[in-house]
Amino acid sequence: MRTARLLLRQWCDADREPFAALNADPAVMAHMPALLDRAASDAFIDRTCAHFDQHGFGLWAVAVPRVSDFIGYVGLSVPRFSAAFTPCVEVGWRLARAHWGQGYATEGARAALSVGFLSAGLREIVSFTVPANTRSIAVMQRLGMTHDPADDFAHPSLPADHPLSHHVLYRLSPERWLAHA
Ligand SMILES: CC(C)(COP(=O)(O)OP(=O)(O)OC[C@H]1O[C@@H](n2cnc3c(N)ncnc32)[C@H](O)[C@@H]1OP(=O)(O)O)[C@@H](O)C(=O)NCCC(=O)NCCS
C-alpha cells in the first residue's frame, strides 16, 4: 500500500535486524512491560505474518522510499486477550525513534483505517495505551478517535498492581472516520 510518503508492505527477513534494534530501544519501549530480545522480536514478526494469513490484514512493515527500507510497523491487529471491548480490531504503531516527529504514524494509520473500514467492513476500530503514552494518544486523537473514561481498563495480561496496568481505550466508528477524513 502506498501513501503520500510511505510504503506499507509485507515483512521480509531483512526487517528482522532493524526490528530487533527498535524493540531493544528503551525510548521506543518506554510504555511496554519489557524490552524484546532478538528471539521475542522474531516471534512477533512470525505471529504478525500468521495474523495476515488468518485475517487478511495486520501490522504492515513500513518503509519510507528513498529514506529507509524499514522504520517500524503500522496496522491492524486482533488482540489476543479478553476484555469488555473484545473481540475487536486495534489500530497500532511502533516506529524507530529516529523517525518520530514526521507524521509517519498518523499517515500510515490513515491507510490502515481505510483497509479496516472499506475493505474489511469493520464497524469499529479501537486503540489503547497507558495514559503516560502521550505521543500514541496524540496519534489516536489526530485520527478522530474518541475516549470515554468509562472504557478505561486494567490490562488483563498484567498484574492489577503493575504500573502499566491502567489503560485508556479510544474508539472510532466508520461514520466518524468518514466525517473526520
Ligand atoms: C507512538 C508513535 C508511533 C508516535 O510517533 P509520532 O512521530 O509522535 O507520531 P506521528 O508520526 O503522527 O507524528 C506527529 C508529529 O510529527 C510532526 N510532523 C512533522 N512533519 C509532519 C508532516 N509532514 N505531517 C504530519 N505531521 C508532521 C507533527 O507536528 C507531530 O509533531 P509533535 O509530536 O511535535 O506534535 C511513536 O512515539 C512510537 O513509535 N512510540 C513507541 C511505540 C509505542 O508506544 N506505540 C504505541 C503503543 S500503544
Has residue 148 got a pLDDT over 90? yes
Residue 93: alpha-carbon gap to chain centroid: 3
Only one residue has cell 474489511, namely 120
Percentage of residues in the chain having pLDDT higher than 70: 100
Give the model's pLDDT for residue 17: 98
Residue 9 C-alpha to ligand 1 middle, in angstroms?
20
Q: Are 24 and 36 in contact (CB under 8 A)?
A: yes
The pLDDT tens digits for 1-29 are 999 999 999 999 999 999 999 999 999 99
Residue identifier of the C-alpha nearest atom 10 of ligand 1? 103
Give the model's pLDDT for residue 181: 72
Residue 48 C-alpha to ligand 1 middle, in angstroms?
22
- H runs (alpha helix) in the chain: 16-23, 38-55, 104-114, 134-142, 174-180
User: Ligand 1, residues 36, 70, 93, 145: which to mutate, most atoms within 8 A of Cβ?
Assistant: 93
Give the model's pLDDT for residue 77: 98
Mean pLDDT of the region 117-141: 98
- What confidence category does residue 70 fall into, taking pLDDT thresholds of 50, 70 and 90? very high
Give the model's pLDDT for residue 180: 81
